[in-house]
Chain A
Amino acid sequence: MQVPAPFEYARATSVADAVALLTRHGPESRVVAGGHSLIPMMKLRLANPETLIDINDLSELGTIRLDGDHLAIGALVRHAELLGSAVAGEHFPILHDAERVIADPVVRNRGTVGGSLCQADPSEDLSAAFSAISALAVITGADGERTVPVREMHVGPYQTVVGDAELLTEIRVPIRPGGSSAYAKVERRVGDWAVAAAGAALWLDGGTVADAGIGLTAVGAAHFCAPEAEEFLRGKPASEESFVEAGRIAGESCHPVADQRGPVDYKRHLAGELTTRALRRAAARARGEQA
């Protein structure tokens, strides 16, 4: 039987209460939301928090809404809710592409957007998807809110800039006209981590790429993105040749490691090919074609 080691449990009643509990219990306390990454790690003693602070009652963190020129996604939004959100899918189809292949439908009922980002697993999908669309993370502490680009949120495997007494409260995605997005993943079976996955966001000015965002996961890409490939695409024709070359650059710029999911050259190949596929699909969507 796998059970976590003993810990204290506290249930937060508000964001301020969660921050106060984190402050009181110190660095050995952890926030739990869906728990579908943290509880398995606690069973394996890979995580041993002394106190769990349950934020599931903070319904104010559970909404998806348009806020001016941003899409605002609460940290406690469940994966199933993001997948079911018409407004999220309309503006950022990449989020629906990614959510369809995150874990399985039952796990998606519990796991949360904020939990995935804060767990910061190096094979996590939403980190790559939100990096591609240049999302911002709103982090709340005792002194109020601060905003950090998702691209600067991850400082290493399972490590983020969210402080010991801070809580990720919202993801804000800027909505810019003329663009679309897509996500492509290869997994060994349903619910497994990615062998590799790529997300792409494209903004077109006629037949030219005005701007591009590329996210990568499971392939050792720093901050889950591929800036060299993005830079290459800016100002180039939105063509098959450009997307293939951007894929090649993305594949070369990442640093996969060999494991039971595959050798380095295969993962590098996948990173490139999936980048190209995601760009192709994002471009078709931006042009209003079926994709």
Chain B
Amino acid sequence: MQITVTVNGTSYTRDVEPRLLLVHFLRDELRLTGTHWGCDTSNCGVCVVWLDGAPAKSCTVLAAMADGHEVRTVEGLGDAAGLDPIQQAFSDKHGLQCGFCTPGMMMTCRALLDRDPDPSEATIREAISGQICRCTGYENIVRSVKAAAAAGQEVKA
């Protein structure tokens, strides 16, 4: 079947099998390998992308279901020339070690900050409770989100 999906503002049309998962469409068809592929069971959250503005686990969404919809991946956050504040904060606060969970974490945390620009620690931990990091013990991820929130508040002030 033919699908057209807008990813990071660019429209892509491809012929796909109905059973193709969104994570594999992004990685294998579009070569957007920033989105990682992990547990395959919607537990680990490394595959989180935005679907119509809301974080979703792309291992549990069919590419066909994204036909006509908008996807945002970690590549759509920023680039080396202009990092998103959440990317800068993960870098500054050592929010990653191996980096495997990082794209999904950043997509969820960007959405959190858009909704709640100054979240409490409990709110941050709740927001990432469906995602697994085996390196940081989550401490530095929470610090990163707080730093990004603070940076966002400064920009506004």
Residues of A within 8 A of B (CB): 1-9, 11, 32, 35-36, 39-40, 43, 52, 54, 56, 80, 103-107, 109-110, 190-191
Contacts and interface: CB of A to CB of B under 8 A. Distances in A.
Contacts of A39: 21, 60-62
Interface string B55-98: 11100111011010000000000000000000000000000000
B102 interface: no
Contact of A105 (B41, B43, B51, B130): B130
Nearest to B47: A106
A35 B60 contact: yes
A277 B56 CA distance: 33
Nearest to A43: B40
A103 B51 CA distance: 18
B62 A110 contact: no
A41 B23 CA distance: 17
Given A110-B56, A190-B129, A9 B42 contact: no
B144 interface: no
Contacts of B126: 105
Contact of B18 (A1, A9, A80, A105): A9
5 contacts: A35-B61, A39-B62, A40-B42, A54-B65, A56-B65
Given A36-B42, A56-B65, A110-B60, A8 B130 contact: no
Contact of A1 (B40, B51, B67): B40
Nearest to B128: A105
Interface string B107-130: 010000000000000000011011
Contact of A191 (B18, B51, B67, B130): B130
Contacts of B41: 2, 40, 43
Q: Do most interface residues of chain A lie in helix, strand or loop, or is the interface mixed?
A: loop
Nearest to B108: A106
A8 B65 CA distance: 13
A102 to B, nearest CB: 11
Given A6-B18, A40-B42, A190-B129, A54 B64 contact: yes
A106 B48 contact: yes
B127 A4 contact: no
Q: How large is the interface on B (under 10, 10 to 19, 20 to 34, 35 or more residues)?
A: 20 to 34
B54 A109 contact: yes
Given A106-B57, A110-B51, A191-B129, 11 more contacts: A2-B40, A2-B41, A4-B19, A6-B19, A9-B64, A35-B62, A52-B18, A104-B45, A106-B55, A110-B54, A110-B60
Contacts of A7: 18-19
Nearest to B131: A106
B19 A3 contact: yes
Contacts of B18: 6-9, 52
Interface in B14-40: 17-21, 24, 40
Contacts of A110: 51, 54, 56-57, 60-61
A123 to B, nearest CB: 16
Contacts of A35: 60-62, 65
